[in-house]
Structure 1
Amino acid sequence: MCEPTVRVRAFALGARGETVRVLPHLSPASAESLRTALRRARFTTDGVRELLGPSAHAALGRGEVEPAFRATREGGELGVLVRLLLLGGVESDAAVTAALAPLTPSEARDAGLLVPAGDGWGAALDLRPYADDDGEWWVLSDLDARRQDRDHVTGVGAASLTLAAATVRRPVGSLLDLGTGCGVQALHAGRHAGAVTATDVAPRALAMARATFALNQVDVELLEGPWLEPVAGRRFDQIVSNPPFVPGPARVDYVYRDSGQDGDAALAALLRALPGHLEPGGVAQLLGSWLHVRGEDWPDRVRSWLPPGVDAWIVQREVSDPALHVGTWQRDAGLDLTSPEARAQAGAWLDWMERERVEAVGFGFLTVRRTDAEPAVVFEDVLGEVSDPLGPETAGWLDRVDWLRAHAADEALLAAPLTVAPSVVLETYAEPGADGWTEVGAAVARTDGPRWRHEVDGPAAALLAGCQGALALGELVELLAVAHDRPSGELVAATLPAVREFVRHGVLVPA
Structure 2
Amino acid sequence: MQSHGCSDYSRTEDIPFSSRSGRRSRLDGVVESDLLTRLRADLADAAYTVDRLQQLWGADADAALHRGDRVLALRTARAAGLAPVVLLARLFRLHDTLTGPELAAAFPALGVEGARALGLVGEAGRALIDVGPLTAIDGAGAAEWWIVSDLDEQALGGALPPDHVLGVGGASLTLAGLQPTTPVGSVLDLGMGCGVQSLFAARRATRVVATDVSTRALELAGATFALSGVDTVELRHGDLYAPAAGERFDRIVSNPPFVITPRREGVPLYEYRDGGRVGDGIVEEVVRGARDHLVPGGTAHLLGNWEYRDDEDGLSRVTRWLEQAGLDGWVIERERQSPAEYAATWIRDGGTRAGTPEFERLVGQWLDDFADRGVVGVGFGYLVLRHPAPGTATLRRTEVVTSPRPDAAAGLGDTLLAGFAMHDRLAPLDDAALAELRCAVAGDVTEERHYWPGADGPTVIRLRQGGGLARQIEADAALAGFVGASDGGLTVGEIASALAHLLEVEEGALLAQLLPQVRELLVTGLLTLSE
TM-score normalised over the length of structure 2: 0.87
Matching residue within 101, 107, 115 for 2:108: 101
- Post-superposition offset of 1:339: 4.2
Counterpart in the other structure of 1:6: none
Q: In 1, Cα distance between the equivalents of 2:499 and 2:512?
A: 13
Q: Encode CA deviations 1:181-224: one digit per residue, 9 max, x unaligned.
A: 01011111111111111000000010000011011111210000
| 1:29 and 2:29 correspond | no
CA distance in 2, matches of 1:341, 1:426: 50
CA deviation map 1:446-491 (0-9, x unaligned): 2333222223333333322322111222333344445556554433
Is the CA contact 1:172–1:193 (under 8 Å) kept in the aligned structure 2? yes
Q: Which moved more, 1:475-484 or 1:459-468?
A: 475-484
- For 1:79, the equivalent position in structure 2 comes to 86
Q: Distance in 2 between matches of 1:494 and 1:476?
A: 13
Q: 2:65 maps to which residue?
A: 60
User: Residue 484 of structure 2 aligns to which amino acid in structure 1?
Assistant: A
Question: Could you tell me how far 1:166 is from its partner in structure 2?
Answer: 2.3
Measure the CA separation in 2 of the matches of 1:197 and 1:209: 12
Question: Counterpart in 2 of 1:43?
Answer: 48
State the 1:436 CA deviation: 5.3
Cα 1:13/1:206, change in 2 over 3 Å: closer
Q: Pick the aligned partner of 1:279 from 279, 292, 295.
A: 295
Query: Greater CA deviation, 165-174 or 406-415?
Result: 406-415
CA distance in 1, matches of 2:221, 2:402: 32
* Contact 1:168–1:391, Cα closer than 8 Å, also in 2: no
Secondary structure in 2 aligned to 1:501? helix
Q: Tell me which of 437, 441, 446 is aligned to 1:425.
A: 446
- In 1, distance between residues paired with 2:420 and 2:92? 46
Matched, 1:350 2:334: no
**Deviating more after overlay: 419-428 vs 236-245:** 419-428
Alignment partner of 1:300 out of 279, 292, 316 = 316
> What SS does the corresponding residue of 1:495 show, helix, strand or coil?
helix
Query: Residue type matched to 1:166 in 2?
Result: L
| 3-state SS in 1 of match to 2:494 | helix
What's 2:458 paired with? 439
Greater displacement, 151-160 / 89-98: 89-98
Q: What SS does the aligned partner of 1:319 have?
A: strand
Within 1, Cα distance between the matches of 2:477 and 2:59? 49
- Superposition pairs of residues 97-496 of structure 1, within 5 angstroms: 97-117=104-124, 121-133=125-137, 134-144=142-152, 145=156, 148-219=160-231, 220-250=233-263, 253-306=269-322, 307-372=324-389, 373-387=392-406, 389-408=408-427, 409-410=429-430, 411-432=432-453, 439-483=458-502, 488-496=507-515
Q: CA deviation at 1:308?
A: 5.0
Q: Which deviates further from its counterpart, 490-499 or 217-226?
A: 490-499
- The residue type equivalent to 1:367 in the other structure is V
Mean Cα deviation higher: 151-160 or 222-231: 151-160
Structure 1, gaps ≥5 residues long: 1-11
Distance 1:414 1:388, change over 3 A: farther
**How many angstroms does 1:400 deviate by?**
3.1
Change (3 A) 1:407 1:85: closer
CA–CA separation in structure 2 for the residues paired with 1:325 and 1:379: 21
RMSD between aligned residues:
2.5
Query: Shift in Å at residue 355 of structure 1?
Result: 1.5
SS at match of 1:431: coil
* 1:87–1:388 distance in 2 versus 1, CA, 3 Å: closer
Kindly indicate whether the alpha-carbon contact (under 8 Å) linking 2:415 and 2:468 is maintained by their aligned counterparts in 1: no
Counterpart contact for 1:14–1:122, Cα < 8 Å = no
Question: How far did 1:75 drift?
Answer: 3.0
CA contact (8 A) 1:242 1:287 kept: yes
> What TM-score results when the alignment is normalised by the length of structure 1?
0.90
CA displacement, residues 275-325 of structure 1 (integer Å, 9 cap, x when unaligned): 211111111011101112124322211111114543211111111111111
Distance across 2 between alignment mates of 1:168 and 1:418: 25
Q: Which moved more, 1:279-288 or 1:409-418?
A: 409-418
Report which stretch shifted further, 264-273 or 480-489. 480-489
User: Residue 256 of structure 2 contacts residue 304 of structure 2 at CA under 8 Å; is this kept in 1?
Assistant: yes
Could you tell me whether the CA contact under 8 Å between 2:261 and 2:269 is conserved in 1?
no
Aligned length: 494
Displacement of 1:406 after TM fit?
Answer: 2.2
CA distance in 2, matches of 1:319, 1:378: 18
Matched, 1:505 2:528: no
Q: Could you tell me which amino acid in structure 1 is paired with residue 117 of structure 2?
A: D
Give the Cα–Cα distance (whole angstroms) in 1 for the partners of residues 447 and 67 of structure 2: 39
- Cα deviation for residue 240 of structure 1 reads 0.6
Amino acid of the structure 1 residue aligned with 2:183: P
**86, 96, 102: which one aligns with 1:89:** 96
SS in 2 for 1:334: coil
Aligned-partner SS, 2:68: coil
2:229 & 2:444 partners in 1: Cα distance?
39
Structure 2: distance between partners of 1:359 and 1:237:
37
Is the contact between residue 185 and residue 206 of structure 2 (CA under 8 Å) also seen in structure 1? yes
Change (3 A) 1:107 1:295: same
